[in-house]
Amino acid sequence: MLNFSKINIILIYLIFIIISVFSVLNLQSKNDIIIDKKINLGLDLQGGSYLLLEINSDSLIEEKIQSKVIPIKKLLKENNLNYQDFKISNKNLIFSVNDLEKFELLFFSKKDNLVNPYIDNYRSFELDYKELDNNFIEISFSKFGLLTINNSALKQSIEIVRRRIDDVGTKEPTILQRGEKRILVELPGLKDPERIKKLLGKTAQLNFRLVSENLEFGVEELISETGEVLKVSKRIVMSGENLIDAQPSIQNQKNEPVVSFTLDRLGAQKFGRATTDNVGRRLAIVLDGKIVSAPNINEPITSGNGMISGNFSFQEATDLALLLRSGALPTPLSVIEERTVGPDLGEDSIRSGITSLIVGFILVILFMLYKYRVFGLIANTALIANLLMLVGVLTILEATLTLPGIAGIILTVGMAVDANVLIFERIKEELKTEKSIIHAFDTGYSKAKITVLDANITTLIAAIILFAFGSGPVKGFAITLGIGIITTLFTAYFLARHLTSLVVLNSNNREIKI
């Protein structure tokens, strides 16, 4: 156990030096960056905002159930099933049929498209139905169907939330799914949480509709940003899905901020056709049910480029362009929990954490020197190396350090010393019976190996479980603890053991006190 080949010695110190060098990168200034890697500070250490968002899929479910109307009617006709009183009621379709038994056979048929045939092996259908009085049928989404809609909407919402936050320029955001309908957003260092809340709270459903003179069928009244009530056609000329890009700019004539947009080929064709056929009429630009502006169509616009004006400030124009670029949310998002951590509180947390680490570190070093003398010095050297390697690995991974993460580092200090204490105490027992000092140290390391491995592996399993099932700060604690265990085993059984071997092998079998 005390013998090391030259290759092993080179590998041990090479690994230590390479990893430790990365820990120094956290001290480099912004102007002298050698390698752009460092440990990021979490929300609780540098301040910022914590938001818990929830999707509301009611409107999406209504939209999806409406999309089933034509396929269901078509299927009923193809199978000679007469229906009457077909209507949409919130999230359900209700109608009467002349033959309930035939309808039931049709509903559970594998080959027809009224329901999804089979999903995996669970006979899970997208739609379900129940019989009402007087041969009426009520069709709605099944539990599986609702879960599918929610999952799809949630994943799409997470992607769009990420785009919007990235466009703002927030560094190291944490955006995670929480349950079936919730999104966790952590924004360290955020200085303007209200702006982010406004950006995330807007669905950004954009469409272009013609303004009508009369309130007739297919026309509704909408309020513009200026308070003007306009009669707007429900027919959508073009939607925001056809937008390729949107950027804020300044209109030279009036020197006011506007949003310039670019359409894809299909959008340009639709927009060109609509503006050509309706020169002289007003075109309402509707965002989330409100009219942003309603300019006159003075001439056909066939270039695929346009402008949205509406008495914006430049910040409002920038945010609107960002919303349009990132795409519309499939469902509205509401903030159900919000926390803001000030930078002063974060600095206090860092100061407290570092103070705890330094105090604990000094006490451990003094104890080891008092208890084990020269071997205590070796254990302390291994402890310093352990911390350097731990910080180095965290830097390589560009991990986010939280207050629980600092607690994990402090716990690593204790566990690193614990490994050396177990080894040295075992060696003490061997020195009582062994005449050869070298053999006593060799046997001590061999016999303590299983105990040290068992203690550290069980803790590592606990850290892995915390990482797999925990969230946020719990994961931060698990990461630092897990990495700390691995660096502890490396420094105890390679670095400290090699230093110990140098002392023992150069003792010429003289009495060594430990």
Burial 464-489 (b: 16+ CB within 10 A, else e): eebbeeeebbebbbbbbbbbbbebbb
Look at the pTM and tell me if it is higher than 0.75.
no
Interval 254-289: pLDDT, tens? 778 888 889 998 889 988 999 899 988 998 988 888
Burial 377-410 (b: 16+ CB within 10 A, else e): ebbbebbebbbbbbbbbbbbeebbbbbbbbbbbb
Q: What is the mean pLDDT of residues 447-456?
A: 89
d(CA 259, CA 253): 15
Contact indicator for 369, 419 with CB cutoff of 8 Å:
no
pLDDT at 121: 37
Q: What are phi and psi of 245, to 5 degrees?
A: -150, 155
pLDDT at 327: 84
The helix-helix angle for 437-469 and 403-433 (nearest 10°) equals 160
Tokens standing for 114? 């009224």
Q: What is the mean pLDDT of residues 428-434?
A: 84
In residues, how long is the chain?
514
Interval 369-420: pLDDT, tens? 888 888 999 999 999 999 999 999 999 988 888 888 888 888 888 888 888 8
Of the listed ranges 136-150, 320-334, 336-350, 380-394, the one predicted with least confidence:
336-350
Q: What is the mean pLDDT of residues 31-54?
A: 81
Q: What is the mean pLDDT of residues 294-315?
A: 85
Chain mean pLDDT for the chain: 84
pLDDT at 110: 44
pLDDT at 109: 55
pLDDT at 112: 43
pLDDT exceeds 50 at position 28? yes
pLDDT exceeds 60 at position 116? no
Classify residue 167 as exposed, middle or buried by CB count within 10 Å of its CB (0-12, 13-18, 19+).
middle
pLDDT band for position 1 (50/70/90)?
Answer: low
One-letter-per-residue 3-state SS of 148-195: HHHHHHHHHHHHHHHHHHHHHCCCCCEEEEECCCEEEEEEECCCCHHH
Interval 194-245: pLDDT, tens? 888 888 888 888 889 999 888 777 788 888 877 888 899 988 888 888 888 8
pLDDT exceeds 50 at position 123? no
Contact indicator for 119, 105 with CB cutoff of 8 Å:
no
pLDDT band for position 474 (50/70/90)?
Answer: confident
pLDDT at 491: 92
Tokens standing for 343? 């930078």
